[in-house]
Structures are given as structure tokens and as C-alpha cells.
Structure 1
Amino acid sequence: MTGHTIVFWSPVSGTGTTSNLAATASVMGLEYSAHMLLLGHCESHDIALKQCFYQTHASREMDMDVSVNMGVDALLRLLQNRKLQPNMIRDYTLPLLKDRLDLLPGSSKPDDRFIDMATPWMESLLSMAKRMYDLVFVDGGSGNSSEWTNGLLRLADVLVVCLPQNRLAVHRFFRMDELQAMLTTKKHVLVFGKYDRYSSLTHKNLLRPYGRRLQTCSVSYNTRWLDDGQNGQAISYMYRNRQVPREHENYLFMRDVRALALALIEQTGLHYAFFGGKETPI
């Protein structure tokens, strides 16, 4: 049985796509038994993703240590030479949570150069990764003007569309005819990130004009998460806040991220027990 590719993507920049991905993967790594891989692939996406899990100085030292023999560049060379096997992939990753969550370093090449080289091999690489991991999370960035991005959207088993709390941006999203046609047959979740619960622009109000039943989640704006997530403390934040009471300032954020994680588990059909002794599926 192969795993599932989950692509986090946004039609516009500034919606917290990488932040949503890092939060979801972190909480799932702590609370589910799935074996997961994080993939930033392009240099720009890789930098943003690593920032969530490594402090800046540590990330710089790691970049010096992660030579051409690590990460997606090394896997692509093996794939092109027909030498890559699924059980080899872990050797080229950085473990974040033992036997739960690995990070595959992105390319050291400029984005446009990497994309030109990797596009013909993208489907094969993701297929190989899914044979080793239950879930492969991909930071798809924003916009859909490139062949690479459109390819990622097509290959996603589940597409997580990150939207801003903005009426015009939501309207433009629903005017993207090719994407909307694709979503009629593809599993997907709409996520409103950095969500302000005190705004009149609730996700229900924003989506009401489109008259469709949509799987929708919102991830509340949380200052502490934004700080910790930009200082390499994503997993630490999730660990510290797993048991916060309802009145705690971080409770809503944790509740929202768990709801998004559960939505993805349901979309993929993977029902893994929580840590803490629970043996029955959630």
C-alpha cells in the first residue's frame, strides 16, 4: 500500500502556507503514528520550511553540512541514474521526530534551475517517496503560473488550499476555472490561515455566495506560534501546548491545527491512534 502526497498551496502569497504545513506536520508527528516526510524541494520553500524547525544559526551550520550528497538533489541524481530505491530515501533526510517525521532538504540550486531539471522527474520522485512514507507533505508555495506548480497540484492526492480572510481573494480563487474543475475530482481542504475570529468575514460568510458544501478549516492567528515558528521551535511549541486548558491563549490555535490534522487523516483514510495509550482508531 502506498502513501499519500499532501500539497499545501495558496493562490496568493502571505496566507501562511508554510506555517500551516509546519504546524500540521508537527502536531501529527507528536500525536499520530503515521510516518511522514516534509519536502520543501525548491530553495526558497526549503529555507522557509527549515526555519520552522531549526534556529537560524543552526540552520546555517546545517546548510554547510548538507552537501550535494544530501536532500532532493541527491535523490534526483539517483533517480536519473535509475539507482533510487524507496528504502534509500531516509538516508538523505534529516530526522525531526524519530520514526515519525523526516525533513528532506531542498535543492541548493536556484529555483528556476532546479525546476527545469526536476520537472520531468517530479512524478517519479513523489511516487517513490509514497512507497516509503504514509504521508508526504509538500510546500507548494503560491500562484499557479509555472509548469512545476501546476504539476504539483495535479499530482496531489490531497490538496490543502490556503486562503486569506479576504473577500476579493476568495472571489478570484473561485474564478480560477481550471483549478475549480480539478477540485471537483480531487480530495481537498480549504484552510483560512492567520484567522481572525472577531472579523465579520468568517469563512462561512466568505464562502456563502458560492453555494457549495466545502471541507473548510480555519487556523487562528496566534502570536506565540508565529514567533516560535520563525525561530525553529515548531515542534517544541506543539509539545508544550498539547494539554493547555480551554482558557489558555494558545488553546484555539491548538484546537484548529488538530482539526486540520484530523481532516487530512480522514481524507487519506489513514486512522492512526493517538499517543497516550489509546489503541482504538480516532
Structure 2
Amino acid sequence: MGKTIVSWSPVKGQGCTSNTAALAAVFALNYQVNSLITHTQFSESILEEVFNKAHKMVGFDSGLKALERLAKSVLLKPEAVIDYTETIYNNRLDILGGSQTHQGDMEILQTLLNVTKEAYDLVWIDTETGPPNEMTEKVLKAADVILVTLPQNKFVLDRFFTQKEYPAFLDEKNVVYLVGSYDPEAALSVRKIKGNYKLKNKVMPVLYSHLFNDAFNTNSLTEFFHRNKSVSKKHPVYEFTDGLKTINHFLAKQVDLVRKGDDEEE
């Protein structure tokens, strides 16, 4: 049975989806595991676009909508999932997208996500941002690891942590807080965030990179990460990708997918 890493942000527009896409891509290129990235929407998500797969997923037999038909017919088996996905990195990362249709049945979607765990070693799930709806809450509660993306913004952090604007069940889950578009020169550092709010959870930065943003906005993430898999320390994208590798190194341990030699890297 595979593990799930579920991404969520209480605030829209903070880079939750872009962080999920970046981490999943870098993980796939550095770990020899069969992984899947998907989302909780039957309708098309931005994920399909940024990996340049949206045009291949339009039609009757693609993505979550196709699997929904199998599930309703009691014909859905784990080995069938791969037939309805698109490849991002061969034998490393697939994407299961939605379609340009209405939202599907919540119980069916939960069944589909459970089946994907049987078909893949690791499943990355991007959920809707903002206050969690019933579907988002169910997926978060079932996750092995939850990634919560927050901005480097004191007012938002105050509301979230001090005024308790977060789901109470997060206290019982394995949560990693990601600070998106992180500026290491800013006064509100990761260390201060963790100290100010007395957080016991891991707090990790996702650095801002204009090169990554350009790739995201031009739907070319697949090529971007493949091209920049190994770059020198002087390369302008090095600190960004190295930070993603650090996060993934921690996540790999949380989901028991540690590579040989990783323990020696501590």
C-alpha cells in the first residue's frame, strides 16, 4: 500500500499547487519510486496545465472522470489506474487529471484516491485552498503527511496560529509547514516563525525563484526540472532546487521511502 502526501493552504494564491508540483517532480527525479500526482477535483486543475498535459486529458477516457465510471460499475482495479494517467517522468511520475465536467460524487472520489494508493508507492494530492470542505477534510484526515503552505506574512500567520484559524484535527496529524516564496533576507525567518508560534512541527522554506515561476507560467515544469536536475552551486536555480531536495529528504523518511545512503547524509 502506497503513502499519501496531501497539500493544503488556508489562503488562496499562496503557491500550494506550485509547491506540490515542484516537490513531486524533484522527488520523482531523485527517488526510484513509482509516484502519482493528482487533485481532488473532477474538473480540470492547473496541475494538468503546468505539466503541459491538459490537451492530452480532454475526452471521455481520461483522468478521474474515466475512473469514476469504472468505480460505479464495480470494475475499478488498482492495475487499471495507470491506463487513465499521463506520464510526466517514465516509471517515476504520472499525473491523474480531471476533465472539463461537473464535480463528481464525493464517496466515489474517495474510492478512487484509495485505489491509487494500491497502484503507486507514493501519491501526491493537491486539495482546494481556503477553509476545507467535506472532501478536503476527509482527504487530509486520511493523509500520511500533510503539507500546509503558508506565506511569510505575520498577519496571516497570527490569524492561523494565534486565533486558531485551522482545523483542530491537524494537531493529531503529521504536518509539515511550508513557507512559500520564502525570502531568506526577510526578518520573519523560519526560525522566528517556529519560535514565535511555539511550533513543534517541521517548518521548511520554499525559496522564491523567478526561473521556476517562468516555467510554471509557461506550462513547462516537466522540462524545467529535468533540465535542472543537477546544477552547480553557482547556477541561479541551485538554491531553489536544493531546498526542494532538503524538504523531500525529510518527507522520504516520513513515508518510509528513504534511499540507500540517505541516513549518512544527516
User: TM > 0.5 between the two?
Assistant: yes
> Which residue does 1:176 correspond to in 2?
164
1:106 is displaced (CA, Å) by 1.1
Contact 1:17 1:162 in 2 (8 A): yes
The counterpart of 2:174, out of the listed 183, 187, 193, is 187
Aligned to 1:196: 183
Q: Which moved more, 1:148-157 or 1:23-32?
A: 148-157
Aligned to 1:219: 206
Q: How does 1:110-121 map to 2 (within 5 A)?
A: 110=102, 114=103, 117-121=104-108
**What corresponds to 2:50 in structure 1?**
52
> What residue identity is the alignment partner of 2:217?
Q
Does the 8 A contact of 2:62 with 2:85 survive in 1?
yes
**Residues 92 and 104, structure 1, Cα contact 8 Å, conserved in 2:** yes
1:14 and 2:1 are equivalent in the alignment: no
**Which of structure 1's runs of 4+ aligned residues deviate more than 3 A?**
175-178, 278-282
- Correspondence for 2:223: 236
Residue in 1 aligned with 2:23?
A: 24
Other-structure match for 2:3:
4
Distance 1:271 1:239 in 2: 21
Distance 1:279 1:139, change over 3 A: closer
> Out of 62, 72, 96, which is 2:56 matched to?
62
Aligned to 2:101: 109
Distance 1:264 1:40 in 2: 19
Helix, strand or coil: the match of 1:142? coil
Distance 1:279 1:197, change over 3 A: closer
1:204 offset after TM fit, Å?
A: 1.8
Secondary structure of the 1:160 match is strand
> In structure 2, what is the Cα distance between the partners aligned to 1:234 and 1:90?
21
CA drift at 1:133: 0.4
What residue is the counterpart of 1:84 in the other structure?
76
Among 118, 122, 127, the residue aligned to 2:114: 127
Q: Which runs of 5+ in 2 are unaligned?
A: none
Conserved? CA contact 1:7–1:159, under 8 Å: yes
Residue 16 of structure 1: CA displacement? 0.7
- Give the gaps of 5 or more residues in structure 1: none
Normalised by the size of structure 1, how large is the TM-score? Answer: 0.86
CA distance in 2, matches of 1:280, 1:143: 36
Does the residue aligned with 2:206 lie in a helix, a strand or coil?
strand
C-alpha distance in 1 between matches for 2:206 and 2:29? 18
Which of 134, 137, 150 matches 1:150? 137
Aligned residues of 1:162 and 1:193 also touching (Cα < 8 A): yes
Equivalents in 2 of 1:177, 1:15: separation in Å?
Answer: 16
Code of the residue aligned with 1:79 in structure 2: it is A
Q: CA deviation at 1:43?
A: 5.6
8 A Cα contact 2:7 2:20, kept in partner = yes
Contact 1:123 1:155 in 2 (8 A): no
Per-residue CA deviation, residues 43-86 of structure 1 (Å, 9 max, x unaligned), is: 66x431122211xxx74x425xx312111011112112211000
Deviation at 1:195, TM superposition (A): 0.7
Report if aligned partners of 1:34, 1:272 keep a CA contact under 8 Å in 2: no
TM-score when normalising by structure 2 = 0.91
Given the alignment, which residue of 92, 96, 120 partners 1:100? 92
AA paired with 2:252? I
User: How much has 1:4 moved relative to structure 2?
Assistant: 1.0
Q: Is the 8 A contact 1:144 1:150 kept in 2?
A: no
Partners in 2 of 1:193 and 1:280 — Cα distance?
27
1:172-222 Cα deviation digits (max 9, x unpaired): 22233662x322321121101111111111122123222232211101100
- 8 Å CA contact 1:53–1:233 kept in 2: the answer is yes
The alignment covers a number of residue pairs equal to 264
Shift of 1:99: 1.1
User: 2:40–2:136: 8 Å Cα contact kept in structure 1?
Assistant: no
